[in-house]
Structures are given as structure tokens and as C-alpha cells.
Structure 1
């Protein structure tokens, strides 16, 4: 279970929180949070994903104070969610390039095994929500991501912590020409990771008391 959790943590955008940034939208891609391989991830799609997590978090705790604390502890949720959405596409491209595929049966088998280890379906959903910010309805998508990562690493005769694995993701990032809206930072091709923007015209609004990511 530890190995699988480590992989999930690696690939579910569990990156350090940073100040919330605001900036003008991308002139080249208005309304887009990111463009990956010529396909837009719209701001609305990103917000929907974040709302799915927030709704699941609210349902998981009955106390408003606990919910407020949960929001405070996950202030980077929007950026982390976008990172995950982009990385999902990058990893999928890398897997395709390596001839790696994942079947629905494999995803179900992985889910069944994890449920047995943690004590059932609800326990698994709660674990993925609390530790990786994955809403229950996105659980199987995330498990497919983990399987793609594991199978890609195996195809490359390495593991997900080794340079060879991340080199494959870097190559896929270059092919997909990832472009982030500046308000969400930029995409580091070499690391296949979102980086916070460091531009003088980006304004830190954290101090304004914004509670949602």
C-alpha cells in the first residue's frame, strides 16, 4: 500500500502551497486555464474540478469549523488541481508513445485491491480525498493515472522516482507544448511540473482574506 500511496502522492499534484496569484488572462487563449496539445482546459472546467473536491470535503465533515480548517490547509487546491489535470494528459501521451495501455478491468482490479487494504470503498474514497485532493467521482481516473505511471516505468525498466521516467514525461510535455494561463504560473517542461509565476505584474491577493482556492 505504501508504494501505491507514494505514486499517488507523486502524480496527484501534491505540491507545496504558495500565494494565490491573479493576473490578466492569456491573450492567446482567452478563457483557458491551460492548453495542452492544442486542447484547452478551460477555467470553468478547472473550477468544476475544484468544486467537486470542496463539495466532497464539506460532505466528509459535519462541522463548519473543521471545513474552514480544511480549506485553509488546502489553499493551493486550484493550482494543484490544474497541475494534476495537465500532468494527466502529459502522462497519457508518454504512455501512448511507449505503447502502454490500461484497461478498465485493470483499473477495477486495482480499486478492488486497495479497497480490501483500507477497509472498503468509502475508506478508499476518503483516503484519496484527504491525502491527494481527489474527489470520489474522479477516483477511477486517478487510479488509471497511477497504473499508466507504473506500466510506463516498467516499460522503461525503471520506476517513477528515476530520471528515465521523468525524461519520458519531459519529452511528452515538449510534444504537447503545454501553455498555462499566467495566473496559474508556468509549466516547467524539464520537471513536467507547474511553477509559480514570478512576474512583476502578478499581484498577490492572499492578504485579502480569500478563503477559496
Structure 2
């Protein structure tokens, strides 16, 4: 269980806390939060995913005070979510390059095992939301990524903590040519992660934007 949860965190949580930024000026790809393999992740798609998490947090909180604490504990959610959306595609490309495939049965088996260890479907959904910022409707998608990562590591003769695994993701990242909107930082293909941009024309609006509605 520890390995599965650690992998979920690895593939689903952002790696560095950072303020939410707004940018003035023109974007290379208007309307895009990121471009991965020539395909846009739009700002609207990113915001929809963030809203899914906030809605799930609100539903789970029970009252405004608990919801405020949940928001405070995930104040960099927009960047975390974009990081995850990009990393998901990078992982999938690396798995394709290695001819790794995941079946629905693979996902069902992993879910059944995790549910058994955590105490049921509700416990799984609660844990994934609280610890990894994954709403209930995205749990199966995340579990598919866990299987994909584990199969890729096995195909490479390593595990997800070892350099060989991350080298495969780095290669896939370079192949895809990940390009982030500057307001969300930049993508480091070598480290396989988002990093903050140091641009003088961005404004920190974290305090204003992260208040619970």
C-alpha cells in the first residue's frame, strides 16, 4: 500500500508550492495553459479540473471552516493540476514508447486491492482527495496512471523511484516538446517538472484568488 500511495503522490501532486500568477502581454499559444505534443491544454480545461477539486473539497468539508482549511492547504492547486495534466501525458508517451498497455481489468484489480486496504470505495475517494487533490470522478484515471507507471518501470527493469524510470519520462518529455504558458512557469524536460518563471511582468494575486467562495 505504501508503494501505491507514494506513486500516486509522485504522479498527482505538484512538487513545489508557488503563488498563483497572472500575466499581461501576449501568449505564444493564445488560450493555452500548456501545449503538449502539439495539443493544447486550454486555460478553460485547466480551470474545469481545478473546479472539480474545489467542488469535491466543498462537498467533503461539511462546513465553511473546514472548506477554508482545505483551500488553505492546497493554495497552489492550479499549478499542481497543470503539472499533473502535463505529467500524465508525458507518462503515457513514455509507456507508448516502451509498448506498455493498460487494460480496464488492470485498473479494476488495483482499485479492488486499494479499497480492501483502505476500507472501501469511500475511504479510497476520501484519501485520494485529501492527500493528492484528486476528486472522486478522477480516481480511476489516476489508478490507470499508477498501473501504467508500474508496468513501465517493470518493462525497464527498474522501479518508479530509480533514475532509469525518470530518464524514460525525460526522453518522452523532450519528444513531446512541452511548452507552458509563462504565467504557469516553464517545463524542465530534464527534471520532468514545472518550475517557476522569474518574470518581472507578473503579479502575485494568491491572496485574492485563493479565498473560498
Fold shared by both chains (TM-score > 0.5): yes
Instruction: Tell me the residue number matched to 1:136.
Output: 136
Does 1:31 find its partner at 2:24?
A: no
Question: Runs of 5+ in structure 1 lacking a partner?
Answer: none
Contact 1:107–1:140 at 8 Å: present in 2 too?
Answer: yes
Scaled by the length of structure 1, the TM-score of the pair is 0.96
Distance 1:26 1:170, change over 3 A: farther
**What SS does the aligned partner of 1:158 have?**
coil
Q: Kindly tell me the number of residue pairs found equivalent between the two proteins.
A: 212
Contact 1:26–1:181 at 8 Å: present in 2 too?
Answer: no
User: Deviation of residue 62 (structure 1)?
Assistant: 0.9
**For 1:172-191, what aligned pairs fall within 5 Å after superposition?**
172-191=172-191
**What SS does the aligned partner of 2:190 have?**
coil
Per-residue CA deviations over 1:124-146 (Å, capped at 9, x if unaligned) read 00000000000100001000111
**For 1:29-178, what aligned pairs fall within 5 Å after superposition?**
29-178=29-178
Instruction: Tell me the residue number matched to 2:2.
Output: 2
User: Deviation of residue 206 (structure 1)?
Assistant: 2.7
Per-residue CA deviations over 1:85-140 (Å, capped at 9, x if unaligned) read 00000000000000100001100110011111101101100000000000100001
Does 1:199 find its partner at 2:199?
A: yes
Scaled by the length of structure 2, the TM-score of the pair is 0.96
**What SS does the aligned partner of 1:161 have?**
coil
**What SS does the aligned partner of 2:87 have?**
helix
Distance 1:161 1:25, change over 3 A: farther
User: Deviation of residue 207 (structure 1)?
Assistant: 4.5
User: Deviation of residue 2 (structure 1)?
Assistant: 0.5
Partners in 2 of 1:206 and 1:53 — Cα distance? 18
User: Deviation of residue 27 (structure 1)?
Assistant: 2.6
User: Bigger CA drift: 97-106 or 6-15?
Assistant: 6-15
User: Bigger CA drift: 15-24 or 144-153?
Assistant: 15-24
**What SS does the aligned partner of 1:68 have?**
helix
Distance 1:209 1:174, change over 3 A: closer
Distance 1:100 1:68, change over 3 A: same
User: Deviation of residue 208 (structure 1)?
Assistant: 4.1
Partners in 1 of 2:167 and 2:192 — Cα distance? 9
Question: Runs of 5+ in structure 2 lacking a partner?
Answer: none
